[in-house]
Amino acid sequence: METALAGTIALVAGATRGAGRGIAVQLGACGATVYVTGRTTRSQPSEMNRPETIDETAELVNQAGGRGIAIQVDHLVPAEVRALVTRIEQEQGCLHLLVNDIFGATKIEWHKTVWESDLEYGLRTLRLAVDTHAITSHFAIPLLITTPGGLVVEVNDGTAEYNGNTYRNSFFYDLAKAAVLRMAFALGHELKPHGATALSLTPGWLRSEAMLEAFGVTESNWRDAITRVPGFGVSESPAFVGRAVAALAQDPEVSRWNGMSLSSGQLAKIYGFTDLDGSRPDAWRYMTDVQNGGNPHDVTGYR
């Protein structure tokens, strides 16, 4: 149990599961107070209809050594986000770290063109992936910049280098991820005069609850899936990207990353943290060198 972030007030928007939960827990492991938000509670599921809840995430933050505060928020509803930030201000008086990890899409229509896709759901995906981040930043950043050194982390899927050269196999998904990258860049320009930093951060091949379920494995036996999909050997737990955010939050020179696109694997080499198994998977370098490079699937040197 660490206390490096004791006194840090964080908001992890979209902390029900996956990367958001991993980030919240690792911030808690460093002693932070973490507001965890999402739509799914024990008494009310979201449209995703999954079992994970923000209540569980808050409990995991507490167990890790921090203080977890679960608040049900639909980040597409401005009034709910405004009320959330008002509550944080009343209870804490400040906000040091904002993590925008909201997505919540129930399906992605992979390998379909824009004209073949379900338009209503495609536009819903954009709202869930883009509008939520903009709404949350609109209300939360005024509180964040009242204290010098604030940090905004836009959690994404893919680096600027990778996404800029690779079609993500869905018009709407591709557009959503490009937009989040650009939001971090734009926020970097807007926050710099206020002594704050914004950046985009992507995990690699994330072993989220849904991903493990899809591969028919658990976190304890995830390597069993490698025989079917060799590239899965470079996957990472949600704790890995969580440790990346915790390292960024502790860095007194975090402004060096302002407006930039970063990955968990990249930051592990710089800050020295590891995944739960002691490794440092670098999925995006693997994707570029091996998968897109047409080389044999071998994760040697990438974990």
Domain ranges of the chain: 9-208+242-276
Mean pLDDT of 20-26: 98
Q: What is the pLDDT of residues 112-143, one digit of tens each?
A: 999 999 999 999 999 999 999 999 999 999 99
The confidence score (pLDDT) of residue 57 equals: 98
Distances (CA, A) of 167 to 21, 24, 170, 172, 282: 28, 30, 8, 11, 20
Q: Tell me the CATH number of domain 9-208+242-276, given options 3.40.1280.10, 3.40.50.300, 3.40.50.720, 1.10.3720.10.
A: 3.40.50.720
Q: Is residue 1's pLDDT more than 70?
A: no
Q: How confident is the model over 55-81, as a mean pLDDT?
A: 98
What pLDDT, in 10s, does the model give residues 233-275? 999 999 999 999 999 999 999 999 999 999 999 999 999 999 9
**In terms of pLDDT, which residue wins out, 106 or 278?**
278
pLDDT of residue 113: 96
Report the share of the chain in percent with pLDDT over 70. 100
Q: What does the chain come to in residues?
A: 303
The two counts, helices (H) then strands (E), for the chain are: 11, 7
| Strands in 105-259 per DSSP E | 151-155, 197-202
CA quadruple 238, 239, 245, 248: dihedral sign: negative
